[in-house]
Amino acid sequence: MILRGKVAIITGGAMGIGLGICKVFLKLGATVIILDCSDKIKNALEELIKISKNIIGYKVDITNKDLVDKIVTAIYNRYGKIDILINNAGVFKLTKFLEISDELRDFHFDINIKGTWNVTKAVYPYMIKHKYGKIINLSSITGVKVAGIGEVAYATTKAALIGFTKSLAIESAKYNITVNAILPGYTITPLFKKFALNNNINITKSVIKEIILGIPIKRLGTTEEIGYLAAFLASDLANYITGAEFVIDGATSIPKIKNIDV
């Protein structure tokens, strides 16, 4: 159990990739604290406590810096340390560039970038104090490796997280804090389904089949697979890895031409 005794904060842990990461971390011995603004956090906690009792959650909007600071302080006072931070919380709304309102642009920027900034800045001093920490930012292949129509706001935020990761990794090295990024590809999550619903895309078996045709490994990834990658990076097995980005997309972002089999 490579995370035994570790205390981990996971944002956006009530569903999707975040929930998958929580499940893996609990199985591997970590104490997990979820920060999530969704009402689904209650159901998530009821599900996760069946894996381990070392789980609590706070309903919080991570754009609220003062509240984030108070909650992180409470977490530190309760456990005496914060070993791991998984910045997973994020939003995605497909909209073409000329149709994006300033409000929708800021919706992406405030949560995907500023929210990550707020939580990291609240946790970071405690990691420095203990000369130990693992920070993992959930970016995406979108904006870093690939991009599509209507993804400008989302892609911009996910690309920004790579700059955040690399720059903070340089500053953190002397404190024995590592900072890395995970770039997932296609994963069926509530966020993906909500994106489809908002854009009148019916996620049927035939649509999923079309998506899979563009994935060389010929299947979708699972949230738990992303969780195991996060667990490795959060463990002492990865102490010499920092400032790096890890693509986990079944080779989706590699082919020059899609759906060609020779």
Active site residue 79: no
Tens-digit pLDDT profile for residues 84-100: 999 999 999 999 999 99
* Per-residue model confidence (pLDDT) at position 191: 57
Tens-digit pLDDT profile for residues 99-108: 999 999 999 9
The CA–CA distances, whole Å, from 134 to 7, 50, 125, 236, 243 equal 10, 26, 13, 9, 11
Please tell me the pTM assigned to this model: 0.93
Tens-digit pLDDT profile for residues 169-202: 999 999 999 999 999 999 877 655 555 555 555 5
Query: Which residue among the candidates 154, 175, 228, 240 is catalytic per the annotation?
Result: 154
Q: In CATH, what class is 7-186+222-248? A: alpha beta
* Per-residue model confidence (pLDDT) at position 260: 56
Answer whether 37's CB lies under 8 Å from 115's CB: no
* Per-residue model confidence (pLDDT) at position 72: 98
Tens-digit pLDDT profile for residues 4-28: 999 999 999 999 999 999 999 999 9
CA-CA distance, 58 to 35, in Å (whole number)? 5
